[in-house]
Amino acid sequence: MAAISHIDPKEALAVKARVEQLSFYYGDAQALNRVSLDLAERRITALIGASGCGKSTFLRCFNRLHDLYPESRYEGQILLKPDDINIISKAVDPLEVRLRIGMVFQKPNPFPKTIFENVAYGLKVRGVRDRHFIEERVEGALRQASLWAETRDRLQDSAMTLSGGQQQRLCIARALAPQPELLLLDEPTSALDPIATANIEELLSELKEQVTILIVTHNMQQAARVSDFTAFMHLGELVEFGDTDTVFTTPRQKKTEDYITGRYG
């Protein structure tokens, strides 16, 4: 792998997570092959690549969602800073990992509960009882997800009454309420219309002031618009990683160039 996968120290960015030689297997099928890269703190890192290249698999390693299904196997490590715990090690409880890392899915999946309950859910899971604190965090998270204005008067309505784009922002608020260290987004706009997509992209640019973001996207323009760093994956391997401008204007690898110029994928 010729890709230089670590962030240039000249930029003096803090690293939030360091992935080293990560391989992943579904049973006998290898889905990721020795991927190494760094996630810069308070920056957006985008994962691009054709369908089936392993980008979602990679993302889901970060909160151990693969552990829900039998016969999944990790190799290598993902070190979460600052305490350098290897979040894919068997010794680490997946629950602890999921409490530190938030995730937003491709299809908006709010719980069939009220808007308030959805956003407060992460606190409920953690056993937070303080009503005042919960209300504060719910408002904070809804504001962060720029959904407060639309929902402040209907917090007790079912989340299912929201539009698709609002539901996805609600899911972002739900992930943000417990103040995660890292936010994972798995093609968060692929089920949304262009206006809702634009809202979410704008939102992500604001959010990166506060949280490190890793986003998988099908849409190359989206990666170019919102991300600071881009990783291009192909058949389970990391082909190229660098700051977004460089990857899109002067890719080092032929495969990357072919992909971003639309020759395949």
Partner 1 sequence: MARLRARSRRGPAQSHNPMPEAAISEALARRKRRDGWFALAGLLIMLAAVLTLVLLLAQLLVDGLPRLSLEFFVEFPSRFPQRAGIYSAWIGTLLVMLVTAFVAVPLGVAAGLYLEEYARRNWLTDLIEINVSNLAGVPSIIYGLLALGLFVNRFSLGQSIAAAGLTLALLIIPVVIVATREAIRAVPRNMREAAYAMGTTQWQMVAHHVLPYSTGSILTGIIIGLSRAIGETAPVITIGALTFIAFLPEAPIGGEFPYINFNWLDAPFTLLPIQIFNWLSRPQTEFHANAAAAALVLIALTLCMNATAIYLRYRYRRRVQW
Q: If binding is defined by CB under 8 A, does position 185 make contact with partner 1?
A: no
Which residue blocks in 101-190 are alpha helix, DSSP H?
A: 115-125, 131-144, 148-151, 164-176
The reply to whether 122 sits near partner 1 by the rule CB under 8 A is: yes
Residue 63 or 151 having the CB closest to partner 1: 63
Q: How far apart are CA 233 and CA 256, in angstroms?
A: 9
Please pick, from the candidates 103, 138, 141, 231, the single residue that binds partner 1 as defined by CB under 8 A.
103
- Among 121, 87, 86, which Cα is nearest to 101's? 87
Residue 109 Cβ vs partner 1, minimum distance, rounded to whole Å = 4
**Coil vs helix vs strand at 17:** strand
- Where b means 16+ CB within 10 Å and e means fewer, 225-237 reads bbbbbbbbbbebb
Instruction: Please answer whether residues 100 and 179 qualify as being in contact, where contact means their C-beta atoms are separated by less than 8 angstroms.
Output: no
95 near partner 1, judged by CB under 8 A:
yes
63 part of the interface to partner 1, by CB under 8 A: yes
* CA-wise closest residue to 201 among 146, 137, 264: 146
Nearer to partner 1, 9 or 70 (CB): 70
Question: Which phi and psi angles does 182 have, rounded to 5°?
Answer: -145, 135
Listed ranges 79-87, 106-114, 140-148, 196-204: which one lies at the site for partner 1 (CB under 8 A):
106-114
Rank residues 14 and 160 by Cβ distance to partner 1 and give the closer one. 160
State yes or no: residue 164 binds partner 1 (CB under 8 A). Answer: no
Largest CA distance in the chain: 56
Residue 154 engages partner 1 in binding (rule: CB under 8 A): no
Residue type, 129: R
Q: Does 188 bind partner 1 (CB under 8 A)?
A: no
Locate tokens 């323009």: which residue? Answer: 221
Site mask for partner 1 (CB under 8 A), range 42-61, x = bound: --------------------
Binding site for partner 1 (CB under 8 A): 63, 65, 68, 70, 95-96, 98-99, 102-103, 105, 107, 109-112, 121-122, 124-126, 158, 160, 171, 174-175, 178
